[in-house]
Structure 1
Amino acid sequence: MADPATYRPAPGTIPASPGVYRFRDADGRVIYVGKAKSLRSRLSNYFQDVANLHPRTRRMVTSASSVEWTVVSSEVEALTLEYTWIKEFDPRFNVKFRDDKSYPYLAVTMAERYPRIHVTRRAKLKGDRYFGPYTHVWAIRETLDLLLRVFPVRTCSAGVFRRAERSGRPCLLGFIDKCSAPCTGAISEADHRVLAERFCDFMAGNTARYTKEIERRMREASAALDFETAARLRDDLAALTKVMERNSVVLSDSTDADLIALAQDDLEAAVQVFHVRGGRIRGQRGWTAEILDESSPADLIERAIATLYADAAAIDPGSGEPGASAVPHEVLVPQMPSHVEDVRALLGPGVDLRVPQRGEKKELLETVAKNAEESLRLHRLRRAGDLTARSKALEDLGEALGLAEPPLRIECFDISHSQGTNVVGSQVVFEDGLPRKSEYRRYAVHGEAARDDTASMHDVISRRLAKHLDPPEVSDEDARRFAYPPSLILVDGGPPQVAAAQRAMDELGVTDVALAGIAKRLEEIWLPGEEHPVILPRTSEALFLVQRLRDEAHRFAITYHRSKRGRAMHESALDAVPGLGPARRRALLDRFVTVKAIREASIDELEEVPGIGPALAQQIAAALQSEAPAPAVDMATGEILD
């Protein structure tokens, strides 16, 4: 671990100009790339007292052994150069976006004598037209099969084309009218090129022109009693309509826009992009990223925009031209990037970068955000399902906490409440790094134990470990599950919660279970009686496992708390009914669930509830009807509104 003072450049040697800087480790590898409006101001922040630095920044500067920079003429050039270097050097302390799949394109080889349509994932060639990217190859092939009825452009390879040319016989597609057979001279070179251009025009979004033309020809054929031609044109029109349904209009106008959304937690982020051309979704892309620096959501949005548009080889999903600018007329984001003016300059003039506030574009952006959340969830599941990663996580966690062996069974506890009311606790169980939901438990906390989080944690841990100490009966399956001791107990919180849990363990004499607390920042693991926390590396599988445990315990606690709070609200509405005690209130809610349903129930239905007689049923109905919400009244006419 290096001391940053050993390689700190003299302040006078650092220019005050915009530029990009690189930190290198002892082996000369670039470990971090950043940009700055003023290199002198920015770099001086890294060489202050390391105790004042953020933990991630501290790890970076102590891992480095040198720093260098390049001066550029503007902040826009700095943004572009930063992206280029991150892509080239793959620094481990930068956010790294990784494409989550390989996307296929539909290509039309306009540079050839007889243009050909085919599906490709390879590098783009000059002069060809490209459409996409698309999500699935099979979807492209189904679409192409329909379009070949109307635009029978050649799809065969060069070898097949030459064999048909020599033999004078077309291939199968030529016989079934899904190829115009330029190989046999059935169509001239010029007419075949026009056919290919019409196909490209349709794929670019100019669909109405061709559907109207086919409708006109179909009517003319029908009027001329040429029903065979009319039927063929009808089928062609149905094929085009089906293609347009597959690329359904998502925006009412012919918008060209890219919509970018982000989902993240403390460790990772997922970005999703929808490419909309001519009002239709023409492509979707996604990346995942490990957050290894101090990037905010605005920083990640800026990095995503640079990733999309700083590459000179980008392909415009609308025009399909290689090397052309992939920037559409609009770029819609959930929040503006960190350096808005720099990003606007990068996008170029005429591009509207904004956050949609209402309407269909905002709704579509919410859909993109849901896809980003789903992408992040699937990324976590794939990572959690990796047996090697799970084993490594348990080993790393056991080593970090000083355990004799990896904690094969971990129980995590969390407390949830609303300003001290309806206090509940949750217990989630992970075995071999995977959740055991059948052994999750919920705790309702009452009385003195509900006064604060530490008292609640003490109560929950005491009740859990009491089951462990009490020998279960053979027939009591639930007690046997509680009796199985965990290797490690994790509590959500810092030193106060850990101290409360340790006090419960000491009172019960439990010494065979390890204990630790998870601080809110997730990098910190607190052990009982320790003055300083254990810091797990940001890239460790152990930290990912701890995060999953904490999130699952929090989710389980919140779910129970909401259900308990809702039930308490309904019970409070029944408090004013004379003669209705707690047991009968619970019986009513078990039957009808809500106060509204009880209010709408008949007297006979109320009498069916155990403990509710005719007199009490009448009292319940009268009391709830008197508390029913007042009807709405039209202030102008005085009439009661429905």
Structure 2
Amino acid sequence: MAGSTRSDALEWRPKAGEIPTSPGVYRFRDARGRVLYVGKAINLRQRLSNYFQPMRNLHQRTRAMVLTAAGVEWTVVGSDREALDLEYAWIKEYAPPFNVKFRDDKTYPYLVVTLADEAPRVMVTRNRRIPGARYFGPYPKIWAVRDTIDLMVRAFPIRTCSDSSYKRAMATGRPCFPGQIGRCGGPCSGRVSIGEHRRIVDDFVAFMAHPDRGVVTLLQREMKSAAAAFEYERAAIIRDRLQALENVLERSAVVLSEDASDTDVFGIEHDELAAAVQQFMVRGGRITGTRSWVVDTEIDVTVGELVEAVVQTAYENDEPPREIVVPKLPDDAAALEAWLGDRRSKGSVALRAAQRGDKAAILQTATMNAKQALALYKMRRTGDYVARTQALTDIQEALGLDEAPLRIECYDVSHLGGTNIVASMVVFEDGLPIKNAYRKFAIREYADDLESLSQVLRRRLTRLSEDEAEPTADDPAPRKRFAYRPGLILVDGGEPQVNAAAAVLDELGIDDIPVAGIAKRLEEIWLPGDSFPVILPRNSEALFLIQRIRDEAHRFAITFQRQKRRNDIGSVLSEVPGLGPARVKVLLAHFGSVARLRAASVDEIAEVRGVGPSLAAAIVGRLSGDSEGQ
């Protein structure tokens, strides 16, 4: 069953009663019939109603998609699983611009064993369509595959030569070059038969699939047996294979128990514009392969929806393992497990969200790698000269500035429950941070965010007026605090923060410095006095630069705020008789945070080196009094 509705106006939206409550897949199209977005739903009516809220409630990318669309159509299916299959097929067919995009379109190298050949060969390839082949990987770099093969053929001497070399050797009776130097145990060398070579290949594949020490134990027994039978040459060959296997196992660190022999772990780090994915392949308890890529998120998606898109892409051409660990399960995890199970040659697939234990630790490591990858991706994108130039030009056009803002100052306010209020100012010139121009501000009296921001801007911009004052006899050469006037002032926040900043500029009579704000969640750019924000293209260089400047201001403010909190607790503790700076440092290192120190009992504090019961009681008493004062 299928239904659709179209209109040339925004009122093309269907009536609620027209939309079924069944599971299904929907497509938004523009006026030319192009598919803009494909989604699925357990309840089509409930899901589609989310797109037809008041425009101000929608994420700006969702709003852009709905405003671009001229119609929506849906197809009812019988189950969540059918919806998943149809959504996947349509995304592949139409490549909708508002669906999640995978920017990393490069192919990864694999280690492959050509099992369909008479004498199977191990090699490096990016071709995923070799009939009857067994693949291992992917690997992040091609040298990592070659390095693995170099180690493995020492333990399992299987064929590495090309098909043409093998055929020539078999026809002439002269071994190929790897066979001549003892690096290949293929039949062309005359050292093994095709049947014996096949058994070595099977051992190779078994070890690559589950690299455990059981193989080592078997070879040790075989070596001792050969030595006992006075077959010393054969024993020496097995000894060399053992040493090669030990090298392989040492280079592959154990991260999980061997019962978790077939697990993939996905770490995901994301923000409003993009997400980075880090995939760890764990076989036999060891990480045997990694893969990473970057995802562009065109509309507001949940972590569960992002996980679903990532997993579908990861196993589009690869067979999934028995277990997949992700940060969060999607709503239709059971349907996704069934979809993955169909892609396994044997057995089912379990999708899990690790909360504790070894798997959670690996997930944390993968997430940390993803976080670094996302930061590097953004840094490289904003660090490119052409991209920076384009970003500044786009900002000029989007905000209606007279010229590109070569110097941008961004301000952010940070506090903890209204205490230790601080603010930061970061400076970017030509799209790059100028860290020696950063400034920190302490707000000594309690103020809300708007008042704090106004105080900081007033203090900063007053210096601008002082810089431009004419020299006097008392001060013939005043020290310059501004390198030059900023071309744009950014504030972290939306309409209220921007209007507060504009009020300060009006108060100081400054009318030639534009001001704008960037709202955190929706990444909207607000200008003073405007009722609606400026929406920059999702993947524009301008938005990436503005976001990076805002994030840097936030990082700098948070760092200063934490430092101020540490200094505060240090000054409080310094009032305790007998407690010097060295012991304060030991206390904070022992408990790890001020909150844990405040929550600690007298007995717990007394256990710290150099702190006895009496001093511990004095510390608790002082901290209790300090808490009551706050």
Give your verdict on TM over 0.5.
yes
Are positions 1:458 and 2:445 aligned together? no
- Provide the rounded CA distance (Å) in 2 between the counterparts of 1:223 and 1:521: 72
3-state SS in 2 of match to 1:94: coil
- Provide the rounded CA distance (Å) in 2 between the counterparts of 1:160 and 1:630: 82
3-state SS in 2 of match to 1:470: helix
Name 1:175's counterpart in structure 2: 180
**Cα distance, 1:143 vs structure 2:** 2.2
**Paired letter, 1:373:** K
Deviation by residue 1:35-94 (Cα, 9 ceiling, x = unmatched):
123434544554566566443333212212233333322221111221222122221111
**Cα distance, 1:293 vs structure 2:** 1.6
Are positions 1:276 and 2:282 aligned together? yes
Name 1:414's counterpart in structure 2: 412
Cα distance change on mapping 1:113 and 1:229 into 2, 3 Å: closer
- Provide the rounded CA distance (Å) in 2 between the counterparts of 1:462 and 1:28: 53
Whether the 8 Å CA contact 2:161–2:178 is kept in 1: the answer is no
Cα distance change on mapping 1:389 and 1:595 into 2, 3 Å: closer
- Provide the rounded CA distance (Å) in 2 between the counterparts of 1:457 and 1:44: 39
Matches within 5 A, 1:554-565: 554-565=554-565
**Cα distance, 1:239 vs structure 2:** 0.7
Cα distance change on mapping 1:11 and 1:556 into 2, 3 Å: closer
Select the residue among 117, 122, 127 that pairs with 2:122.
Answer: 117
Select the residue among 442, 452, 468 that pairs with 2:464.
Answer: 468
3-state SS in 2 of match to 1:482: coil
- Provide the rounded CA distance (Å) in 2 between the counterparts of 1:462 and 1:357: 47
Cα distance change on mapping 1:117 and 1:522 into 2, 3 Å: same
Name 2:325's counterpart in structure 1: 332
Name 1:629's counterpart in structure 2: 616
**Paired letter, 1:339:** D
Whether the 8 Å CA contact 2:396–2:404 is kept in 1: the answer is yes
Whether the 8 Å CA contact 1:523–1:538 is kept in 2: the answer is no
Cα distance change on mapping 1:626 and 1:66 into 2, 3 Å: closer
- Provide the rounded CA distance (Å) in 1 between the counterparts of 2:107 and 2:181: 33
Q: Percent identity?
A: 51
Please provide the CA RMSD for this pair.
3.2
Name 1:634's counterpart in structure 2: none
**Cα distance, 1:366 vs structure 2:** 0.9
**Paired letter, 1:331:** I
Are positions 1:198 and 2:203 aligned together? yes
Cα distance change on mapping 1:110 and 1:392 into 2, 3 Å: same
Whether the 8 Å CA contact 1:302–1:338 is kept in 2: the answer is no
Matches within 5 A, 1:609-628: 628=615
**Paired letter, 1:135:** P
Deviation by residue 1:543-574 (Cα, 9 ceiling, x = unmatched):
22111111110100010111111111111223
Cα distance change on mapping 1:144 and 1:189 into 2, 3 Å: same
Are positions 1:305 and 2:311 aligned together? yes
Worse-matched range after superposition: 182-191 or 279-288? 182-191
Cα distance change on mapping 1:515 and 1:202 into 2, 3 Å: same
Q: Between Structure 1 and Structure 2, whose CA radius of gyration is higher?
A: 1
Select the residue among 357, 366, 374 that pairs with 1:376.
Answer: 374
- Provide the rounded CA distance (Å) in 2 between the counterparts of 1:527 and 1:2: 33
Whether the 8 Å CA contact 1:524–1:536 is kept in 2: the answer is yes
- Provide the rounded CA distance (Å) in 2 between the counterparts of 1:225 and 1:478: 94
User: TM-score, normalized by length of structure 2?
Assistant: 0.84
Cα distance change on mapping 1:181 and 1:625 into 2, 3 Å: closer
**Paired letter, 1:159:** S
3-state SS in 1 of match to 2:377: helix
Whether the 8 Å CA contact 1:467–1:483 is kept in 2: the answer is no
| Count of aligned pairs | 580
Name 2:272's counterpart in structure 1: 266
**Cα distance, 1:117 vs structure 2:** 1.2
Whether the 8 Å CA contact 2:494–2:526 is kept in 1: the answer is yes
**Cα distance, 1:533 vs structure 2:** 2.7
Select the residue among 110, 123, 143 that pairs with 1:105.
Answer: 110
**Paired letter, 1:485:** R
Are positions 1:214 and 2:201 aligned together? no
Are positions 1:485 and 2:485 aligned together? yes
- Provide the rounded CA distance (Å) in 1 between the counterparts of 2:21 and 2:97: 27
User: TM-score, normalized by length of structure 1?
Assistant: 0.82
**Cα distance, 1:106 vs structure 2:** 1.1
Cα distance change on mapping 1:101 and 1:368 into 2, 3 Å: farther
Matches within 5 A, 1:204-603: 204-205=209-210, 207-220=212-225, 222=227, 230-255=235-260, 256-309=262-315, 311=316, 314-315=317-318, 326-348=319-341, 350-447=348-445, 450-471=446-467, 479-480=479-480, 482-575=482-575, 594=584
Unaligned ranges ≥5, structure 1: 316-325, 579-584, 599-623, 632-642
Deviation by residue 1:500-555 (Cα, 9 ceiling, x = unmatched):
32333233332332112222334322222333332323232222211111111010
**Paired letter, 1:484:** Y
